Amino acid sequence: MGSFPASGAVCRGRKRENAIMEFKDRRQPPDSWIPWLDQWVADMRFRNLSERSIGYYWYKITDLARLTNKPPWQIDQTDLKSYIVRPPSNAARRSTMNAVRNFFGWAKKAGLRADNPAEDLPSIKRETRHKVPAPETAVGQGLHDADRQTRLMVMLAAEAGLRRAEIAIVRREDVTEDLSGRSLIVHGKGAKDRIVPLTDELADAILASPKGWLFPHVSGKGPVCGDTVYRRIQHATGCSPHTLRHRFATAAYISSGGDIRAVQELLGHESLATTQAYVTVTPLNLRSVVNSVREYGEGMNVGQVVSTGGKTMPATE
CATH number at residue 147: 1.10.443.10
CB 168 within 8 A of CB 228: yes
Radius of gyration of the chain (CA): 25
pLDDT for position 10: 43
Exactly one of 131, 164, 247, 269 is catalytic; which is it?
269
Within a domain: 118: no
Do 134 and 239 form a contact (C-beta atoms < 8 A)?
yes
242 is catalytic: yes
Which position has the higher pLDDT, 40 or 15? 40
| Count of domains forming the chain | 2
Do 259 and 182 lie in a common domain?
yes
Asked whether residue 103 falls in the same domain as residue 154, the answer is no
Q: Is 205 a domain residue?
A: yes
Q: Is 83 a catalytic residue?
A: no
Q: Which of the following is catalytic: 163, 164, 187, 232?
A: 163
Q: What is the pTM of this model?
A: 0.61
Residues 6+ apart with CB under 8 A from 121: 77, 80, 81, 84, 97, 100, 101
Q: Which of 60, 113, 187, 245 is catalytic?
A: 245
Q: Is 269 a catalytic residue?
A: yes
Residue 302 covered by a domain: no
Rounded to whole angstroms, the Cα distance separating 175 from 206 reads 8
163/55 same-domain check: no
Q: Determine, yes or no, domain membership for 5.
A: no
Q: Per the domain annotation, does 190 fall within a domain?
A: yes
Rounded mean pLDDT, 139-167? 94
Range of the domain at 205: 136-278
Query: Do 83 and 194 have their domain in common?
Result: no
Summarize pLDDT for 250-292 with one digit per residue, the tens: 888 888 888 888 888 888 887 777 777 777 766 665 566 666 6
In a domain, 121, yes or no: no
Model confidence over 67-105: pLDDT tens digits?
A: 999 999 999 999 999 999 988 777 788 889 999 999 999
Predicted local distance difference test score (pLDDT) of residue 239: 94
Model confidence at 305: pLDDT above 70: no
Query: What's the rounded mean pLDDT across residues 14-39?
Result: 77
pLDDT tens digits, one per residue of 176-222: 998 889 999 999 876 788 999 999 999 999 999 999 999 998 888 78
Q: Both 140 and 268 in a single domain?
A: yes
pLDDT grade, residue 232 (50/70/90)?
very high
End-to-end alpha-carbon separation of the chain, Å? 76
| Catalytic residue status for 187 | no
Flag whether 75 is in a domain. Answer: yes
CATH number for 87: 1.10.150
- The C-alpha atoms of residue 72 and residue 10 are separated, in whole angstroms, by 10
If asked whether residues 170 and 76 sit together in one domain, one would say: no
Which member of 101, 189, 217, 231 is catalytic? 189
Q: Check whether residue 146 and residue 231 sit in a common domain.
A: yes
Provide the percentage of residues in the chain whose pLDDT is more than 90. Answer: 50
Residue 20 has pLDDT above 50, yes or no: yes
pLDDT above 50 (res 16) = no
Contacts 24+ apart (CB under 8 A), 235-238: 235/150, 236/141, 236/142, 236/145, 236/147, 236/150, 236/151, 236/153, 236/154, 237/134, 237/138, 237/139, 237/141, 237/142, 237/154, 238/138, 238/141
